[in-house]
Every structure is written in C-alpha cells, then in structure tokens.
Amino acid sequence: MGHRWFETVAHAQQRAKQRLPKSVYSALLAGSEAGVSYRDNTAAFQELGFAPHVADLAAERATATTVMGQEIALPVVISPTGVQAVHPEGELAVARAAAARGTAMGLSSFASKPVEEVVAANPKTFFQMYWMGSKDSMLRSMERARAAGAAGLIVTLDWSFSHGRDWGSPWIPERLDLKAMAKLAPQGLSRPGWLLDYARSGSLPDLTTPNLADENGVAPAFFGAYGQWMGTPPPSWDDVRWMRDEWQGPFLVKGISRVDDARRAVDIGATALSVSNHGGNNLDTTPAPIRLLPAVAEAVGDRIEVLLDGGVRRGSDVVKALALGARAVLIGRAYLWGLAAGGQAGVENVLDVLAGGIDSALRGLGRGSIHDLTPDDVLIPPGFTRTAPERG
C-alpha cells in the first residue's frame, strides 16, 4: 500500500495511534511520573513567538550545516531510540529515510537492527551507548561500532531509572511467543495493519538487542540488557573521559541540563552535547531543554557543538532552537510516529514536514540561512528561561 502523505507531525501521531496496538503506542509515548517534563517540552516551544517581516525577504533559504563532522542538508538529526519494533524494518527504514533526506542518525545500543546494517544504509550514523556492563564489554561495543564504520559515538548519561507513570506503563513481552501472542491478541486484532506488516516481512516483533551481543555473539533480550544497565555503578566524569579517549572520534554527550555539566563535557574533550531531558522520560519536572538552552549555549557554545532534543514537532521549533543557540536538533517521537505510520516513507514525510516548516519560518523572519538566526528572531516571554546554580 502506498504511503498517504500527512501534513503535520500531529497527523503522523494520529496515524501511529490508529495503527499500533495500544501497548506499543503507549511505549512510544513514554513519559514519566506526572508527565510534567513531557508536556513542558512541547508547551515551551509554543510560548516562544515570532514577529515576521513582510518585505525584503530572502528568495532562497539555506539549511545545510554540519554536526560532528557530518554534512547534513537540514539541521535535524535522528535521535537514538531503543527497539523500534513499531515496524518490521525498524532502524533500517529510519536510516534509509535519513540518508534520502541527507541527514545523520543516532542508533541506540538497544536498537533492534545491527549497527553494521544500519551504517550500510546510512554512513552518517552515530552509535549511542549507555554506561553499562564492564569496561571490557563497552570497549567491545565501541570496537564493533568503529569496525562497522560509525561516524561518531553518543553517550547518553541522563537516566535515573524512574519507572512509574501516573497513567500506567504498558505490558511489553520480551519475545512474541505463543503466550505473549495470546495476551496481545485482542490489541493486535484491532490493529490488523501492524500485524499484517510483520506477517508480510516473515518475522515477528522481537525485543532482542543485537548490538549488545556478548563475546560469543549471544544477544540479550531487552529486559536482560536493561537489568545489566541498572546494575552498573554510574560513571564519573573520569569514566566518561575514558570512553571519549577510547573512542577517539567525534563524541557527543547526551542529556545535559546544567551549565556546570556542559562545562565538564567541554573539559573531557567532547565534540558535542545535547541539552535534553530524554524526551521527558526520565526525572520528571526537569524543565524543557529549550528553557535551559540559552544559558548552556552562552556558557560553552563557542567551544563545543550545542544540540538540543525534546519536544521538536515543527520546523518552527527547529528555528527557535537554532535562534537560541543550538547548532541542530535531534528528534525522537516525531520520526517514530512517522515510522509507525508509513515505514521509510513515513519518516521521509516527517523530515519533509520539518524542512518545509524551517523554510517558512526563515522566510517569515527574513533570514536567508539558518546560520544568520539570532535570539532576536524569537519573542521570549518574561520568565521563560531556567538556569540551575553552578556546582563545583
């Protein structure tokens, strides 16, 4: 069946909701505790305004830039997300879509497709790791990603294992065996399109994490890997520096909320950082990254590439983030909804929606290039930003 174009990310979300079994859809929606951060991530973008010009506008608008040494056609990069069992092609469809639109992608170590296949589909792939397991196993993962040709490493540090949700967490099986199928059957039967896609691909949704395979090549299932991560003592900045030194190539620290942590990321020699609260899935009531971005960009923006992720749903959000100091943004749910709605074509559709929105916002602002954006391009209401006092 051909892809039906959607005109906004909200439409992609509606399609995803119609297509996916309830538990899979709510796993994508995620969020934690009361969902305050999750809601603030999008609400904060809506608090920022524009004051468009009507003449002297630029006839052409340039959107190309670089992130961690990779040339990208628009300042939007795919954020790593674990286990994209929302579609049989999962991360491969995402990688192909990103490549087709000329952008880069983060691949989660919890992903459902091997890094070798994903890099083959999009050489601009950054491999993402958590601090988990032994140093030996982390070295093995880095070595494997390097051998596969990954263009950079992302270390995601903002996870504090906060699990409760006021609206309840979905039940997710480790593997779709007969017992799990029986339990999910009512949801699957009401969403035949999703099941049919898997039936046609000849496989079943599977929560194995091939990129976390041990030295014997045995890949753990999602929850086994998660347990190992939970049991690993959290890293010090020296540990993160060790990881950066072992990797040697472009290195991104994801999950920064504070100026002092941004300075530490600079100190350890990271290439880039992402101001992020993990899409509102982690420590609830952490403010939206767009509120924290101006202080971080002001403090370290001349020494490290400052990115942002969380709540980006429109091209105008991307432009607001760039105006406030981001070099580019990462997107999570927006492309997951596109993937669920239409596979590769759905992800391309999302990137096209964002590209169109970036272009409209640049035109309205009278800017001929994303590189000309400044904080004066957005109207910032009083009390919008948040800055934590620096420690240490």
Enzyme catalytic residues: 278
Least distance CB 278 / ligand FMN (angstroms)? 5
- Which of 80, 88, 294, 346 touches ligand FMN by CB under 6 A? 80
- Which of 311, 315, 325, 357 touches ligand FMN by CB under 6 A? 311
- Size of residue set near ligand FMN by CB under 6 A: 24
Site for ligand FMN in 205-244 (CB under 6 A): none
In angstroms, the CA 94 to CA 98 distance is: 6
Cβ nearer to ligand FMN, comparing 176 with 331: 331
**Is residue 162 within 8 Å of residue 283, measured between CB atoms?**
yes
Angle between helices 9-19 and 333-365 in degrees, nearest 10: 170
Is 289 an interacting residue with respect to ligand FMN (CB under 6 A)? no
Contacts of 14 (CB under 8 A, 6+ apart): none
Q: Which stretch binds ligand FMN (CB under 6 A): 3-11, 273-281, 343-351, 383-391?
A: 273-281
- Which of 278, 314, 320, 367 touches ligand FMN by CB under 6 A? 278
**Is residue 157 within 8 Å of residue 278, measured between CB atoms?**
no
Contacts of 372 (CB under 8 A, 6+ apart): none
Least distance CB 80 / ligand FMN (angstroms)? 4
311 DSSP 8-state letter: S
Least distance CB 140 / ligand FMN (angstroms)? 18
Is 108 an interacting residue with respect to ligand FMN (CB under 6 A)? yes
- Which of 310, 315, 325, 357 touches ligand FMN by CB under 6 A? 310
Least distance CB 45 / ligand FMN (angstroms)? 10
258 DSSP 8-state letter: S
- Other CB atoms within 10 A of residue 190 CB: 12
- Which of 121, 150, 225, 312 touches ligand FMN by CB under 6 A? 312
Is 82 an interacting residue with respect to ligand FMN (CB under 6 A)? yes
Is 128 an interacting residue with respect to ligand FMN (CB under 6 A)? yes
In angstroms, the CA 312 to CA 354 distance is: 9
- Collapsing DSSP to helix, strand or coil, 47 comes out as helix
**Is residue 171 within 8 Å of residue 182, measured between CB atoms?**
no
Q: Which stretch binds ligand FMN (CB under 6 A): 9-17, 178-186, 303-311, 346-354?
A: 303-311
Is 45 an interacting residue with respect to ligand FMN (CB under 6 A)? no
**Is residue 254 within 8 Å of residue 156, measured between CB atoms?**
yes
In angstroms, the CA 31 to CA 172 distance is: 16
Element (H or E) spanning 306, and its range?
strand 305-309
Cβ nearer to ligand FMN, comparing 40 with 377: 40
- Which of 6, 25, 45, 110 touches ligand FMN by CB under 6 A? 110
In angstroms, the CA 206 to CA 133 distance is: 22
Q: Which stretch binds ligand FMN (CB under 6 A): 132-140, 145-153, 176-184, 271-279?
A: 271-279
- Which of 103, 125, 276, 344 touches ligand FMN by CB under 6 A? 276
Is 75 an interacting residue with respect to ligand FMN (CB under 6 A)? no
**Is residue 125 within 8 Å of residue 105, measured between CB atoms?**
yes
- For residues 221, 198, 211, 276, the Cα torsion angle rounded to the nearest 10 degrees is -90
- Which of 279, 294, 343, 346 touches ligand FMN by CB under 6 A? 279
Is 30 an interacting residue with respect to ligand FMN (CB under 6 A)? yes
In angstroms, the CA 245 to CA 128 distance is: 16
**Is residue 272 within 8 Å of residue 306, measured between CB atoms?**
yes
88 DSSP 8-state letter: T
Which residue is closest to ligand FMN by CB?
332
Site for ligand FMN in 321-340 (CB under 6 A): 331-334
Q: What Rg do the C-alpha atoms of the chain give, in angstroms?
A: 20
Is 87 an interacting residue with respect to ligand FMN (CB under 6 A)? no
* Site residues (vs ligand FMN, CB under 6 A): 28, 30, 41, 79-82, 108, 110, 128, 156, 254, 276, 278-279, 281, 309-312, 331-334
